[in-house]
Amino acid sequence: MPDNHQPDRGLHLERSGNILIVILDNPPVNALGLRVRRGLLAALRQAQSEEQIHALLLLGSGKNFAAGADIREFNQPRQPPLLREVCDQIETCTKPVIAAIAGNALGGGLEVAMAAHYRLAVKGSRLGLPEVNLGLLPGAGGSQRSVRLIGAEAALDLMLSGRPLSAEQALELGMVDRLGLDARVDGLVYAHELLADRCGVRRSSELTTRLADSAAQQAAIDAARTKLPTQFRGLFSPALIIDCVAAACEQPFAAGCQFEAAQFQRCLASPQHRALLYAFQAERAAAKLPDTTGLAIAAFSQAGVIGGGTMGAGIAVVMLEADLQVTLLERDEQSLAAGLSRVEEFYRQRVSKKRLSATAAAARLAKLRGTTEYRDLATADLVVEAVYEDLAAKQAVFRQLDSHCKPGAILASNTSYLDIAAIAAVTNRPQAVIGLHFFSPAPVMRLLEIVVPPQAAAEVIASAVVLARRLGKVPVRTGICDGFIGNRIMSVYRRAAEAMLEDGASPYQIDTAVREFGFAMGPFQILDVAGGDIAWATRKRRAAQRDPQERYVQIADRLCEQGWFGQKSGRGWYRYEPGSNHGVQDPAVLEIVARERERAGVTPRPFSAEEIVRRYLAAMINEGANLLAEGIALRPLDVDVVLLAGYGFPRYRGGPLYYADKIGLARVLDDITTFAAEDPQFWRPSPLLIRLVEQGQTFASLNAE
Ligand code: 3H9
């Protein structure tokens, strides 16, 4: 029975015999904001002062134990009690404190659990220290307690990867003491057992077994330091995490905690933390569209996918992973068999890499069926078309869908540039037609552009956003234009890169400069991975509409004419040994580049890495501003999220428009104006950028509108 319901504390208290149950109750994720911290301290005081209470059981309500510190407080002055103090009080409590974890125990949430004397985790829960993803490190004693609980190697992995442990992994490592099926029921049983066995308190800070083998701890620390420059290139907090682990191994608990607190403060004050926090919040804000209150959201249980090529099969996998019943449609039996086997192969790989059990894979595949008949899509709630990029072919598919699908079904195309309005126009229900632009490989890439033609119904768009979240994707709404948000921006920064190439920078120098800025890959590397033939086909398609005044760099065409399409042909901008994805520089490419410069009458000039990056980003930022001005992107954060989730923009720099604000829009405009002197057709400053500079405003001010 609840005996102390205190919603203002973000938790409530219940009593079960001599056990005080503290239930964190701070929706949506039980973040440990100020009132929760105060509530926890009050509960501890109550437990200490009441003789009838013999132990405390900590639980979370809803889907989470606790998702960590309340990230909304990071922008404000810190208010006591700090989480560190709360954790210390939990640990010094003289009555046993048991944490029973169901759902997510992340960051500060796991730190609270580690400060408890005993831990139980329910199957399916996730225990992690993901602070690194926000440019932070555990700041409430987590780096010190985790090392004492699971040793330096496992603690480093937990904090540096940010990946959560499953309940089973946590048990195996010693992070938790036992597993359960129900946090409250099994937590109470555990608490009663501990009391019956007179186990007393067991403080994580006093555990020494894991620290005993100092050589092993040191080896783990050294190994992590060696990986810093490659695995955590450019990141600020990982080096400090390693230092905290070293402190845990070398110093008494209190001194280690003091050291951790100082490093946490440094991280909190760092520009990387602010950018990563922005990225986290922007991804969630992108999924919130204006004016959606009260709209009826469709329920999805059955999906159809048209086309079983790489993309279609990937989309089918994404749907199966979200527990949808999937019907894959192909034009004939042979293509269907190939499509289904692509999906099966994906699961074979996952099982062989031990990412999924054979039983789970079989359960997913049991929800897949194939067909060559459109009538089998009659009950689908959603159909995604992923046939080849040809308007007439797609229109033919949509005519079929229109005549076979039930009213209310959402009909989506995965086109990456075709006009969805022209596809919708062949149906009698243009309000139900949208674009769902997945990125390849669909099961891996997080971005999903939701392409909205003018007639699409608001309910359809809002439902697509909800579906995208269920599919584990980051949805961004985009209007219609060639390439939507992402590919349109990419085509512009690629052109900037090609111009630099012709003017004197080598492809390898450009890729290196862009990677050193923090991108996952440079533009020429990406072309090799994606296949040069794809971009070539697009260039040919656009040739007729190309403005004759536009500078057209032909170097890529020369490579394609040789059949050098990148990794798949063993040669592209780089050379690849058979079976290897590691490209090496190719002197033959440099010869072609030199010949093309001569043909174009260009005298090559040197480029610094700084200039390369400035031009690359100026192109990106300017086109982002154009998309905003045209209403294709709703808010600057939508542009940022597209580049972060789909194009490898370094997360710790927040996205191109966030970054532009940080370096100053006047500087970006200055750059564009300077570059315009040599190519005024390409470097046309966006009117929005000019206006923002004139008004002394930032892109961020538009996010707030
Ligand atoms: C930390 O703990 C530091 C400590 O070591 C030291 C302190 C001294 N606070 O993601 P969702 C909001 S750092 C406040 O859509 P899901 C989120 O913004 C923290 N709010 O749900 C969203 O709000 P809205 C370490 C938070 O089910 C809503 O909750 N912890 C927080 O897909 C739903 O979120 C982390 O880094 C928070 N901590 O995923 C965990 N977390 O609806 C970060 C979320 O207004 N969180 N919100 O847009 C997550 O990874 C996911 O949110 C979680 C749920 C897996 C929990």
In angstroms, the CA 135 to CA 655 distance is 15
Specify whether the CB–CB gap between 645 and 447 falls below 8 A. Answer: yes
Instruction: Return the pLDDT at 373.
Output: 97
Mean pLDDT of 87-112: 98
Q: Is the pLDDT of residue 6 over 60?
A: no
Element (H, E) at 511: helix 507-517
Nearest residue (CA) to ligand 1, atom 28: 28
Rounded to the nearest angstrom, the distance between the alpha carbon of 67 and the centre of ligand 1 is: 5
pLDDT above 70: percentage of residues in the chain: 99
Does the CB atom of residue 72 touch ligand 1 within 6 A?
yes
Rounded to the nearest angstrom, the distance between the alpha carbon of 548 and the centre of ligand 1 is: 51
Rounded to the nearest angstrom, the distance between the alpha carbon of 106 and the centre of ligand 1 is: 9
Instruction: Return the pLDDT at 462.
Output: 95
Mutate to test the pocket of ligand 1, among 36, 64, 71, 163 (most ligand atoms within 8 A of CB): 71
Residue in the block written with tokens 């929760």: 36
Query: Following DSSP, what letter does each residue of 276-328 receive, concatenated?
Result: HHHHHHHHHHHT--TT-TTPPPPP-SEEEEE--SHHHHHHHHHHHHTT-EEEE
Q: Which two tokens stand for residue 82?
A: 């700090």
Mutate to test the pocket of ligand 1, among 26, 29, 126, 265 (most ligand atoms within 8 A of CB): 29
Weakest-pLDDT range from 240-249, 253-262, 409-418 = 409-418
Angle subtended by helix axes 271-286 and 253-268, to nearest 10: 70
Q: Is the pLDDT of residue 293 over 90?
A: no
Q: Which is higher by pLDDT, 92 or 1?
A: 92
> How does residue 537 score in pLDDT terms, banded at 50, 70 and 90?
confident
Rounded to the nearest angstrom, the distance between the alpha carbon of 62 and the centre of ligand 1 is: 14
Q: Report whether the peptide linkage leading into residue 604 is cis, meaning its omega lies within 30 degrees of zero.
A: no
Instruction: Return the pLDDT at 471.
Output: 96
Nearest residue (CA) to ligand 1, atom 25: 107
Does the CB atom of residue 86 touch ligand 1 within 6 A?
no
In angstroms, the CA 611 to CA 497 distance is 11
Does the CB atom of residue 78 touch ligand 1 within 6 A?
no
Angular region, 454: left φ>0, alpha ψ -120 to 50, beta rest:
alpha
DSSP state of 389: S
Quick check: helix, strand or coil at residue 159? helix
Q: Which of 69, 98, 263 is nearest to 194 (CA)?
A: 98
**CA angle at residue 341 from 338 to 343, to 5 degrees?**
120
Mean pLDDT of 516-523: 95
Domains identified in the chain and CATH numbers: 4-269 (3.90.226.10), 302-478 (3.40.50.720), 486-543+604-702 (1.10.1040.50)
Burial 543-557 (b: 16+ CB within 10 A, else e): eeeeeeeeeebebbe
Nearest residue (CA) to ligand 1, atom 15: 284
DSSP state of 682: T
pLDDT tens-digit readout, 592-626: 999 999 999 999 999 999 999 999 999 999 999 99
Does the CB atom of residue 656 touch ligand 1 within 6 A?
no
Instruction: Return the pLDDT at 482.
Output: 87
Element (H, E) at 478: strand 474-478
Rounded to the nearest angstrom, the distance between the alpha carbon of 66 and the centre of ligand 1 is: 9
Instruction: Return the pLDDT at 8.
Output: 63
Q: What are the catalytic residues?
A: 416, 437, 449, 487
Regarding beta strands 126-128 and 2-6, do their DSSP bridges make them parallel or antiparallel, or are they unpaired?
unpaired
> How does residue 2 score in pLDDT terms, banded at 50, 70 and 90?
very low
In angstroms, the CA 129 to CA 118 distance is 18
Burial of residue 296 (CB within 10 Å: 0-12, 13-18, 19+) is exposed
Mean pLDDT of 459-480: 95
pLDDT tens-digit readout, 331-383: 999 999 999 999 999 999 999 998 999 999 999 999 999 999 999 999 999 99
pLDDT tens-digit readout, 492-501: 999 999 999 9
Nearest residue (CA) to ligand 1, atom 6: 139
Does the CB atom of residue 474 touch ligand 1 within 6 A?
no
Does the CB atom of residue 283 touch ligand 1 within 6 A?
no
Rounded to the nearest angstrom, the distance between the alpha carbon of 681 and the centre of ligand 1 is: 45
Contacts of 239 (CB under 8 A, 6+ apart): 225, 228, 232
Does the CB atom of residue 286 touch ligand 1 within 6 A?
no
Q: Is the pLDDT of residue 1 over 50?
A: no
pLDDT tens-digit readout, 147-171: 999 999 999 999 999 999 999 999 9
ipTM: 0.99
Nearest residue (CA) to ligand 1, atom 44: 29
Q: Which two tokens stand for residue 118?
A: 């005993």
Mean residue pLDDT across the chain: 95
Does the CB atom of residue 135 touch ligand 1 within 6 A?
no
Question: Which residues face 369 on adjacent strands?
Answer: 327
Does the CB atom of residue 31 touch ligand 1 within 6 A?
yes
Contacts of 57 (CB under 8 A, 6+ apart): 16, 19, 20, 21, 22, 98, 100, 184, 187, 188, 191
Rounded to the nearest angstrom, the distance between the alpha carbon of 107 and the centre of ligand 1 is: 9
DSSP state of 571: B
Burial of residue 562 (CB within 10 Å: 0-12, 13-18, 19+) is middle
Does the CB atom of residue 28 touch ligand 1 within 6 A?
yes
CA distances from 346 to 295, 304, 343, 365, 567 (A): 36, 18, 5, 10, 21
Instruction: Return the pLDDT at 222.
Output: 98
φ and ψ at residue 337, rounded to 5 degrees:
-60, -40
Rounded to the nearest angstrom, the distance between the alpha carbon of 228 and the centre of ligand 1 is: 26
**CA angle at residue 58 from 54 to 64, to 5 degrees?**
170
